[in-house]
């Protein structure tokens, strides 16, 4: 099978590329390396079944040819995360909105009907008051702080653009709303909580819990996430569906800090940082986030293989190896 992955040198995209190469597929990755990294795909660069194009999807002149060649397209290229959005909202409009439309137009022009999976985000649910977020829930975005919701709106717009093209041009589209995803190759530069806590715990620095740490999240291992995406993209039942992808074990950020500290056998102090200090402004955090995964389980045979503790143990081992504190042979493969 020929697979095109936009954003395929990023954290999730590179694991997806790895999965498909392991399955024997041909993989074409396009990535502008804005947050993606060449190191994420370095292992594949010499493979004849792997092609890498360093390009921005908004301007890439190879897009039409790549779309025409693909049996399956994963559209992951995006400016990701609320805080990066706040730094450069215009870039979000260009990459997330114009980029998605350009990818859909390329599929239209190809005249083919590939399997298409578009990555959306749990952020689209906004301040959902329900304990578990279901795909049929109403979406609750606040009217104030207009730029705060730019990312969520860009992802909702992507969903809408993709559905419009799929309906009109008859290709198989599935939208995956990705919940918090963690695992190897996720870097801490963008403030993501798990890589931050792991690095802090293994180096003995204070573990920085924002606010009082009562906010909750549910973390999925990226190696599970990409298997779910593959199953969804190939499921005959999934086209036309928006599906949550993640894990449904909820944990407070304070308990997460305690868990990471305990698993790393670390003496790090847990410190509480006000949101204002952490984000440099009056940031409105999501208080809780947990997916209902019934639809994912109904549409696919997906089962999780990783627990939060197993992923954290793996990340601690990797962080120690990177810091030269451990032999790399102790690492889990993948
Ligand atoms: N967080 C934290 N300490 C950190 C980084 C993040 O307490 O060093 C909190 C953050 O405020 C949020 C949660 O952890 O409540 C998850 O943050 P992340 O950026 O990983 O994901 P998202 O906010 O997109 O769910």
Give the 3-state DSSP-derived string for 158-180, with helices as H, strands as E and coil as C. HHHHHHHHHHHHCCEEEEEEECC
Residue 310 has pLDDT above 60, yes or no: yes
CA 290 to ligand 1 centroid distance, Å: 14
Kindly report which listed range (24-38, 109-123, 137-151, 261-275) carries the lowest average pLDDT score.
137-151
For the domain made up of 2-179+222-246+289-304, the CATH class stated in words is alpha beta
Please state the rounded mean pLDDT for residues 35-55.
Answer: 96
Nearest atom within ligand 1 for CA of residue 197:
8
Tokens of 65: 């040819």
| pLDDT score of 283 | 74
Q: Which of 151, 193, 256 to mutate to test the pocket of ligand 1 (most atoms within 8 A of CB)?
A: 193
CA 274 to ligand 1 centroid distance, Å: 12
Tokens of 75: 């559209």
Lining ligand 1 with CB less than 6 A are 81, 180, 191-193, 196, 208-210, 215, 217, 253, 285
Question: What would the pLDDT profile of 67-110 be if each residue is shown by its tens digit?
Answer: 999 999 999 999 887 777 778 889 998 999 999 999 999 999 99
Q: What is d(CA 268, CA 203) in angstroms, rounded to the nearest whole number?
A: 8
Q: What is d(CA 241, CA 115) in angstroms, rounded to the nearest whole number?
A: 13
DSSP E strands, the chain: 2-6, 26-31, 50-54, 72-75, 115-121, 172-178, 181-182, 207-210, 216-218, 220-221, 242-245, 250-252, 270-273
The residues spanned by each domain of the chain are: 2-179+222-246+289-304
Question: What would the pLDDT profile of 128-152 be if each residue is shown by its tens digit?
Answer: 999 999 999 999 988 877 777 888 9
Separation of CA 316 from chain center: 20
């Amino acid at each position: 099978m020929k697979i095109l992955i936009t954003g395929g040198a990023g954290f999730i995209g590179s694991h997806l590329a790895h999965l498909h190469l392991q399955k024997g597929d041909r993989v074409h990755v396009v990535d502008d390396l804005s947050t993606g990294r060449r190191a994420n795909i370095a292992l594949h660069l010499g493979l004849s079944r792997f092609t890498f194009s360093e390009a921005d999807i908004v301007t890439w002149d190879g897009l039409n040819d790549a779309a025409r060649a693909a049996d399956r397209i994963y559209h992951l290229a995006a400016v990701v995360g609320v805080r990066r959005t706040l730094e450069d909202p215009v870039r979000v409009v260009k990459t997330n909105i114009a980029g998605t439309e350009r990818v859909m137009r390329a599929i239209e022009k190809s005249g083919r009907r590939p399997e298409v999976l578009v990555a959306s985000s749990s952020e689209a649910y906004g301040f959902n008051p329900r304990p578990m977020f279901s795909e049929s829930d109403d979406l609750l975005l606040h009217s104030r702080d207009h730029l705060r919701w730019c990312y969520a709106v860009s992802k909702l717009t992507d969903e809408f653009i993709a559905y419009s093209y799929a309906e009109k041009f008859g290709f198989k589209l599935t939208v995956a709303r990705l919940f918090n995803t963690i695992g190897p190759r996720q870097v801490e530069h963008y403030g993501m909580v798990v890589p931050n806590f792991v690095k802090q715990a293994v180096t003995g620095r204070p573990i920085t819990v924002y606010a009082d740490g009562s906010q909750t999240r549910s973390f999925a291992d990226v190696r599970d996430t990409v298997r779910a995406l593959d199953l969804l993209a190939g499921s005959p039942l999934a086209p036309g569906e928006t599906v949550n992808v993640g894990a449904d074990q909820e944990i407070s950020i304070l308990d997460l800090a305690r868990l990471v500290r305990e698993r790393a056998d670390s003496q790090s102090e847990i410190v509480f940082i006000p949101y204002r200090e952490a984000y440099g402004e009056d940031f409105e955090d999501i208080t809780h986030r947990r997916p209902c995964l019934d639809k994912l389980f109904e549409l696919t045979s997906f089962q999780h293989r990783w627990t939060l503790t197993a992923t954290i143990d793996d990340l601690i081992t990797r962080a120690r190896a990177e810091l030269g504190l451990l032999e790399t042979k102790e690492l889990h493969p993948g």
